[in-house]
A and B are shown apart, each in its own frame.
Chain A
Amino acid sequence: MADSNASGVASKRAYVVAIAVILLMWQVAAWFLPDFLMPDVPVALQRLWQELQSPAFYEGLGNSMSRLGAGYGAALVSGIILGLVGGTLNAVRSTLKAGIIILQSIPSIAWVPLFLILMGFGNLPIIVVVAIGAFFPTALSVMNATESVEKVHISAARVMGASKLQMLRRVYFPAVTPELITGAQLAFGNAWRALISAEMIVGFSAGLGKSLAYSGEIADMTGVMTNILVIAVLAAVIDQVILERIKHRLLRYQYL
């Protein structure tokens, strides 16, 4: 326990240093470039403070988060199901895996033109693009983990008379959870990138990506940098705080 606390402090310190260096690099760039190209860090922080007071900011944030939630959530559920089923079916596993690897190499944002026409201008194409980005790493990690579940764990469950469903729920699912979480964190990165880019392109109703794109269009560099700041901070908070916490909760047995 003492060890994990110490490493926790160390990694927190590493984060603080990294953030300071990044902000410093930004500030150095701002000193060399004119203000209309690159704003000072304090100016952007001031704008951020103003934004945090405005209801429009929260409307955009809410829209983005619900798209992320819907797309990422759907991807996790379907990825876990496909991964578990695919991982246990020897006959289709290799084909399924090859298919995923091929489809995964297409940047999910590339689907936007197709989905815009197919689904119309609205939330749905953005959500689907987010889901596609998150689905493949989830399914692939669960499928790989399912394949390598220890034989003795499966045999033991069969000997105890487990049904197929009990086997999935009580043996396969917990056995693949460590890899699932790694896959889900990877999937979150993909989902987040897909969300911001899709919002920038589709530009349907308020959202973080749209707000960023709009600032660019009106050459409001302070707005651009403020939006980038928000996007960076949110991603770090979701990944490092929320997902890490869920990971520690689910894998509690490994940390004891």
Chain B
Amino acid sequence: MELRFDGITKTFGELEVIRQFETTIRQGEIVALVGPSGCGKSTLLHMVAGLQHPSSGSLTADGKDVSRPSPERTLVFQEHALYPWMTLIENVALALEFQNRDKTYAREQARKWLGRVKLAGFEDYYPHQVSGGMRQRCALARAFIARPEVLLLDEPFGALDALTRMTLQSVLKDLIEEERPTVVLVTHDVDEALYLADRVLVFSNRPATVLQEIELGHIPKTHDLSAFAHIRRDVLQLLGIDTDSEETITETLQATPQATPSRQGEIA
């Protein structure tokens, strides 16, 4: 599914969040939106999901105006999006039940998808009984089960520790390669963007405009991103982060007095 953003502007009252955003995301492309927090990149994602609407400009999916949510365009939230009153398998099956699919079929599929994200054996656990990483695996299963044409990810692993995050990035990468949806990923983690995306859009502070577009192409990648060191440095510099001290950046964009050092290349 091709997504076309045409002169998208979004204002909340007096506050201009996004200014004149233009791009076309090709069918099957994986695009990462990187930028400072609160710059409006999540708003763009929610527009594609049909949860929010542009103040002006047009957003089309395969030529049709995006005006409301549709299971073709599904969104994975940062956290707390699983229903605490349902077990993992019920959470995943719900995506099909909402499309009025047969309950037994939905459960079968949910079991299969939980297996694909390595959660076999945890079907009947409630979300609060498993770890944050397992909850996000489940959230991925719930997104993929509906076979969406567009997969939208809103800082999907933002609340996880570094190691779990890298594992889940690999799980996600495999799923994307097998299912080939069009992907829009919002992240504040530059390494995540470089690892997963074919193209990275770097956003400025509010009102968000694109500072730079980096074409990475669809090439096989591992978590060893040393080949991308120069790109990574450029991106961090664009985001206003001092990269003189080589690869040991721990500064954050909105440094707070007691800011705990975050992972390399991460901006708050």
The reply to whether B80 and A150 contact each other, CB–CB distance below 8 Å, is: yes
Q: How far is the CA of A155 from the CA of B48 in the complex (A)?
A: 13
Stretch at the interface among B33-41, B70-78, B205-213, B241-249: B70-78
Q: How far is the CA of A152 from the CA of B128 in the complex (A)?
A: 16
Q: How far is the CA of A162 from the CA of B80 in the complex (A)?
A: 18
Q: How far is the CB of A83 from chain B (nearest CB, A)?
A: 18
Q: How many residues on A have C-beta within 8 angstroms of the other chain's C-beta atoms?
A: 20
Which residue of the partner chain, among B80, B95, B146, contacts A152 with CB atoms under 8 Å? B80
Q: A161 contacts the other chain (Cβ, under 8 Å)?
A: yes
Which residue of the partner chain, among A152, A175, A253, contacts B77 with CB atoms under 8 Å? A152
The reply to whether A152 and B85 contact each other, CB–CB distance below 8 Å, is: no
Which residue of the partner chain, among A161, A170, A175, contacts B70 with CB atoms under 8 Å? A161
Within 8 A of B (CB), among A138-182: 150, 152-153, 155-163, 166, 170-171, 174-175, 177
Q: How far is the CA of A156 from the CA of B49 in the complex (A)?
A: 10
B126 nearest in chain A by CB position: A253
Q: B99 contacts the other chain (Cβ, under 8 Å)?
A: yes
Please indicate the chain A residues that have their CB under 8 angstroms from the CB of B80 in the complex.
150, 152
The reply to whether A157 and B98 contact each other, CB–CB distance below 8 Å, is: yes
The reply to whether A253 and B84 contact each other, CB–CB distance below 8 Å, is: yes
The reply to whether A160 and B74 contact each other, CB–CB distance below 8 Å, is: yes
Which residue of the partner chain, among B51, B83, B128, B129, contacts A159 with CB atoms under 8 Å? B51
Decide: A256 near B129, CB < 8 A? Known: A155-B75, A161-B69: yes
Q: B30 contacts the other chain (Cβ, under 8 Å)?
A: no
Interface residues as binary, B21-48 with A (CB distance below 8 Å gives 1, 0 otherwise): 0000000000000000000000000100
The reply to whether A161 and B71 contact each other, CB–CB distance below 8 Å, is: yes
Q: B140 contacts the other chain (Cβ, under 8 Å)?
A: no
Interface residues as binary, B69-106 with A (CB distance below 8 Å gives 1, 0 otherwise): 11101110100110111100000001101110000000
Q: How far is the CB of B88 from chain A (nearest CB, A)?
A: 12
Within 8 A of B (CB), among A168-206: 170-171, 174-175, 177
A residues neighboring B (CB under 8 Å): 150, 152-153, 155-163, 166, 170-171, 174-175, 177, 253, 256
The reply to whether B99 and A161 contact each other, CB–CB distance below 8 Å, is: yes
Q: How far is the CA of A163 from the CA of B98 in the complex (A)?
A: 7
Which residue of the partner chain, among B50, B73, B98, contacts A166 with CB atoms under 8 Å? B98
Q: How far is the CA of A163 from the CA of B84 in the complex (A)?
A: 20
A166 nearest in chain B by CB position: B98
Please indicate the chain B residues that have their CB under 8 angstroms from the CB of A160 in the complex.
71, 74, 94-95, 98-99, 142, 146
Q: How many residues on B have C-beta within 8 angstroms of the other chain's C-beta atoms?
A: 27
Q: How far is the CA of A155 from the CA of B154 in the complex (A)?
A: 13
Q: How far is the CB of B98 from chain A (nearest CB, A)?
A: 4
A171 nearest in chain B by CB position: B83
Q: How far is the CA of A117 from the CA of B77 in the complex (A)?
A: 58
Please indicate the chain A residues that have their CB under 8 angstroms from the CB of B83 in the complex.
153, 170-171, 174-175
Please indicate the chain B residues that have their CB under 8 angstroms from the CB of A166 in the complex.
97-98
Within 8 A of A (CB), among B106-128: 126, 128
Closest 6 CB pairs of A and B: A161-B71, A174-B85, A162-B98, A158-B69, A156-B81, A159-B75
Q: How far is the CB of B266 from chain A (nearest CB, A)?
A: 23
Q: How far is the CA of A188 from the CA of B98 in the complex (A)?
A: 35
Q: How far is the CA of A170 from the CA of B74 in the complex (A)?
A: 18
Interface centre among A156, A158, A163, A253 (most CB of B within 10 A): A156
B68 nearest in chain A by CB position: A158
The reply to whether A155 and B129 contact each other, CB–CB distance below 8 Å, is: no
Q: How far is the CA of A155 from the CA of B78 in the complex (A)?
A: 12
Please indicate the chain B residues that have their CB under 8 angstroms from the CB of A157 in the complex.
98
* 25 pairs of residues in contact across A and B, judged by CB atoms under 8 Å: A152-B80, A152-B81, A155-B49, A155-B51, A155-B81, A156-B75, A156-B81, A158-B50, A159-B51, A159-B69, A159-B71, A159-B73, A160-B71, A160-B94, A160-B98, A160-B142, A161-B69, A161-B71, A161-B146, A163-B98, A175-B83, A253-B85, A253-B86, A253-B128, A256-B126
Q: How far is the CB of A214 from chain B (nearest CB, A)?
A: 48
Q: A159-B49, A175-B85 are in contact. List 16 more A-B contacts (CB 8 A).
A: A153-B81, A155-B46, A155-B49, A155-B51, A158-B51, A159-B73, A159-B74, A159-B75, A160-B146, A161-B69, A161-B98, A163-B98, A174-B83, A174-B86, A253-B85, A253-B126
Q: How far is the CA of A166 from the CA of B98 in the complex (A)?
A: 7
Please indicate the chain A residues that have their CB under 8 angstroms from the CB of B77 in the complex.
152, 155-156
Q: How far is the CB of A141 from chain B (nearest CB, A)?
A: 17
Q: How far is the CB of A209 from chain B (nearest CB, A)?
A: 39
Q: How far is the CB of A176 from chain B (nearest CB, A)?
A: 11
